[in-house]
Amino acid sequence: MSDLTCVVTSQTSVSSERGLVKSSIFSPLTLPCGRTVDNRLVKVAMYEHLSDFSGGPPNTYHFALYSEWARHGWAMIITGNVQVDKHHLTLGRDMAIPSALTDETLAPFQRLAQVIHGDTIVKDGSCSHNSRHSPGKVRPLAIMQISHAGRQSPIVLGGRSPFVPPKAPSSIRVGSVVQRSGEVEITSSLRSTEEKSAKDVRRTNDLFLRVLFQVPREMTIDDIRDVQRGFLKAALAASEAGFDGIQLHCAHGYLLAQFMNPKTNLRQDQYSIHPSVNSLRMLRETVEAIRTMTRRDFVVGVKINSGDYVQAGEHPSDARIQAESSRVLDHVRTMAHWGMVDFIEISGGDYESPGKHVLSHKYSMCFIVLRLDFMSSKPTSLRQAFFSRFSRAVIEHINREPTPSNASLVPVILLTGGLRSPAHLQTALDAGHADLLGIGRGSIICPDLPVVLQERLTENRLGYQFKEDTRPFAREPSDDLKPPFRLPKAGLIGASFEMAWYTVRMRGIAESHIQHDARNGKPQSHSYPHGMGTTEAMLRMWIWVNHVEGWWILAFVLMTISVVVTLPTQLITSRQ
């Protein structure tokens, strides 16, 4: 989330572009590897939940969904996380890299890359070559996000037998606690960020997590090498299939993030947390292997999350926040100076209030995808306060640091989160927070967002200012996303219901192409689930008419929720 500096092909300065709305958002940008994005709008990774249960390759639903994004002028399209290990899935329907790479197993991934590039279209449920490429039409960069869930791979849904634990840097279960110098630190990155009724939320979440997740098995050196080979294999599969690059998912508590976090990594070997070089060893060795084995113009990105450094449910002191801020700054600075990464994604919250906390900088060193929520003048959570401090420190430290030996190899910046109107987009650029603008959920409720922007520019040429246009790109679900009132107030449960709504929306877009085809450049109106509440969304997420296994998956989910709701309070309290 930054402005427009960094290796722009036209070599235009930030200050000269700020007043030119059209050239800022719709101007090209060259990445360190040499690839060029045609504008600054990026559809970032969102979990689709569309594969066969137990993981698998992309299918007709993926092709139909991504064909919708491909037709509307996104500069870069990043897939939802593709798992490098089928035995470490997240919610069962993840895309996953096949065990053997053959022409047959790579074909679905090749088809997905073709769809994203616009070379293949989906019409009435079948794929066909697109022979009508318009001159000047944006050709998106296709980026595959690759991931390993580690300890956050749940029981059954994770793709393992019930009594086979997941692998992790250390044997610390999601939701457990770790004692450090007499201080209890919550180790789950999935907890609610609400301070109000924090103890009740924590109790409910703890039990919910205990039911869903096992105590992981600490990885051996051989396990680590095996996972690194898995990431390399996934990158090679992406390259062979025609993707322009990959993004390593090193955020949200997944395996690579677990190696970087002292709450999840208690190792005493070369992959320990201290010294700092050890905490990044797993990631660096993985990036080095990918860079060595792929072509020079292959895009390599890394996603990290500021929230992984200060966990929800904690009440850290100023000294603790400063220490964690220094640690993540050190990580970002180190990655930027490897000279091997094209972009670093840092997620943290929502970018809600344009015009406040506007910062200026010459932040042309890193292509960091920021998901910000520090724009409010009064941060509403501890994570907001932490990220507010962190973002300022990043700007200061990166500006002060000497550039790598080859300045053309430094990463550039992408902002993600809460960009719901032209005003949000322009404010992010004017504030100097990004070179690229990432849209997640907004790309689901408004797949044609780049077209909407262009139309507003065309319709309001005279005197039109993006930063004065606060109209949302599309209707948002808002109150439809409230969880059922009978369920306990818990961040993980609430987030699950909210995610279900967007999952059903994505499936609706895909089905619009498969069953009816999109008309006039938009999915049919029935693909938007107007008035659908969270209970209906959860049911529709897990149950497909043509997917019988959804019934027993739903039974497992409902059983888990019922355990959380009905267990005696004494049992919950006894764990504190």
The domain segmentation of the chain, as residue ranges, is 29-174+198-353+372-474, 477-571
Question: What burial letters (b/e) apply to 234-246, b meaning 16+ CB within 10 Å?
Answer: bbbbbbebbbbbb
Given a cut of 90, whether residue 491 has pLDDT beyond it is no
pLDDT of residue 300: 97
pLDDT of residue 548: 46
Task: Establish how many alpha carbons lie within 13 A of residue 215's alpha carbon, considering only the half-sphere containing its beta carbon.
Answer: 4
pLDDT of residue 159: 92
pLDDT of residue 88: 97
Given a cut of 90, whether residue 96 has pLDDT beyond it is yes
The rounded distance, in Å, linking the Cα atoms of 503 and 339 is: 36
pLDDT of residue 329: 79
pLDDT of residue 23: 44
Strand partners, 436: 414
pLDDT band at 188 (very low <50, low <70, confident <90, very high): very low
Mean residue pLDDT of the chain comes to 75
Strand partners, 415: 370, 437
pLDDT of residue 227: 98
Task: Say whether 511 sits in a helix, a strand or coil.
Answer: helix
The rounded distance, in Å, linking the Cα atoms of 295 and 139 is: 20
- What predicted TM-score, i.e. pTM, was given to this entire model? 0.81
pLDDT of residue 154: 93
Q: What is the pLDDT of residues 219-259, one digit of tens each?
A: 999 999 999 999 999 999 999 999 999 999 998 889 999 99
The percentage of residues in the chain with a pLDDT greater than 90, rounded to a whole number, is 38
161 contact partners, CB below 8 Å, separation of at least 6: none
Give the DSSP H or E segment for 299: strand 299-305
CATH level 2 (architecture), domain 29-174+198-353+372-474: Alpha-Beta Barrel (3.20)
Given a cut of 60, whether residue 492 has pLDDT beyond it is no
